[in-house]
Amino acid sequence: MVALIGFGLVAQPADARRRYYQSEREEPQAAEDAQSRAPVGPLYGVVSLADQHVTFYDAKGVWARSRVSTGQQGYATPAGVFSILEKNRYHRSNIYSGAPMPFMQRLTWTGVALHLGVVPNYPASHGCVRLPGAFAQRLFGVTDLGQRIVIAPQDVPPVDIAHAKLPAPKLLALPDKGDDKTTARDTAPGVEPVALSAAKADEPKPELVAPGEYAEALKAAAVQKGRAAAQAKKAAAALAGKKQAELRQADRDVAVAEAEVKRVSRELEAATRAAEKVDADEATSKAVDLRVNAVEARLADAETKAGAARDVRTAVERELLLAQEAIRAAAAEGDEAVRMAKDAASRATPISILISRKTSRLYVRQGTTPLFDVPVTIKDADRPLGTHLFIATRTGENKASLNWVGITPPAAVEVKYRRHSSRRGRTVEPLEPEQAAKPFPETAAAALDRIEIPEDVEDRIGERLYVGSTLILSDVASNDGKFPMDFQILARTVVRD
């Protein structure tokens, strides 16, 4: 006897149970019903274990349906909320002797994936979700990492939902592309100006944009800022090289001028000593004095030239320092551009939010990167929430709103199984449940009513929230492993003798 807790098999019509476990000798159903249009907005799928089919949805509704084959007895495909973790066109199984798994899209790091395979009208895999060939190939070409896949005991169509507790985008000012004050002309004379921003001080403030638009603008601003910084650094480096050459020449000129001052100073000392020793007529004394005066004039001229050479060297040193400062400023702008580019890259992936009743915390991830987690208040915390997945499928009527759909897998019910053998092999089929299916622990709207998120946390979420983002409410915590992954909520399976 098996009980599924969290998600479970509910009472099914008899014909549905027969379809679920029909023999492989029976004629398979028609090929997949795949539409020809490209997906609009985020793509997400719901696998029905009872019906052995998958339905993929986009912002317009049903995108495509296909038959599937899930795990056979003893290799049950886990129910839960998953995301696509990895894609590999030519994957081979790491568990089952290298068995080929073409067009593999991994759902867990423990061996569950969507992939091309044999699809009879009953569960036949070792836990994976097999897809028909054409559908597997087409699906592989349109899905992205992080897109959600729900595996449920029965078909669970998404429903449009509007609720005040669903997070909303926060409008943001367009990012700066640079700083007009930081130009090569301002920091180093002789360098052509390279503005790091096209904005002007007298221009009006930029309009507010949604987080998705902000991420795109931030990426463009990072590229422009990085290009301008590189140009400024190149110009400043060229100037610094020129000034270093000029400084070397100025050093040589100063050395020559100071050497001339020393030489003339020695000559003046010699002339002065000679004049002191002269004891001759008046004409001879005048000649000596004239010679001393001439040497003194030459010394004054040499000192003037030496002072001018030193002034030139000082000016060149100052210009070199300014050029070097310009290099550092441009390098800092380049570092800022790299930071902006990394921030833009992180914002390029829709966020995932998980609110767990088990931990009473709210968790936010950008792809597989944890951003933050905070305590959250859940009313009547002893009462189950159920599991509810909400997906932002398109922008609302204005930039500060999103349209959401909700998926609430069914509640648990205990099902007994009967095993018997026949000429066609071992067969497993469910008996009629001893009691009616349990009601859902909570509707999606009622579960949202019980959540209280602090305003500052709503703002932090809103800054990164756009189409493709998801919110999960669950009684359990994410089933994280040793590898980075998005939130994963598993139905817990209890096996009893």
pLDDT digits (tens, 9 = 90+) for 82-96: 999 999 987 776 666
User: How confident is the model over 258-275, as a mean pLDDT?
Assistant: 85
Task: Assess whether 331 and 196 both reside in one domain.
Answer: yes
In a domain, 268, yes or no: yes
363: buried, middle or exposed (CB in 10 Å: 19+, 13-18, 0-12)?
buried
Task: Assess whether 276 and 319 both reside in one domain.
Answer: yes
In a domain, 432, yes or no: yes
Backbone angles phi, psi at 187, to 5 degrees: -100, -20
Could you tell me the pLDDT band of residue 423, with boundaries at 50, 70 and 90?
Answer: low
Of 275-279, 328-332, 387-391, minimum mean pLDDT range: 275-279
Q: With CA atoms as reference, report the closest residue to 403 among 468, 335, 484, 316.
A: 468
Could you tell me the pLDDT band of residue 323, with boundaries at 50, 70 and 90?
Answer: very high
Task: Assess whether 252 and 305 both reside in one domain.
Answer: yes
Please give the positions annotated as active site.
Answer: 115, 128
In a domain, 371, yes or no: yes
In a domain, 245, yes or no: yes
145: buried, middle or exposed (CB in 10 Å: 19+, 13-18, 0-12)?
middle
In a domain, 168, yes or no: no
Residue that terminates a domain, selected from 300, 322, 345: 345
Which CATH number characterizes residue 152's domain? 2.40.440.10
Contact 59, 468 (CB under 8 A): no
Is-above-0.85 flag for pTM?
A: no
**pLDDT tens-place string over residues 162-209:** 999 999 999 998 877 655 444 444 444 444 444 444 445 566 666 788
In a domain, 23, yes or no: yes
In a domain, 426, yes or no: yes
Task: Assess whether 355 and 462 both reside in one domain.
Answer: yes
Task: Assess whether 123 and 203 both reside in one domain.
Answer: no
In a domain, 163, yes or no: no
pLDDT at position 53 over 80:
yes
Q: How many domains does the chain have?
A: 2
Q: Which domain holds residue 483?
A: 2-157+349-495
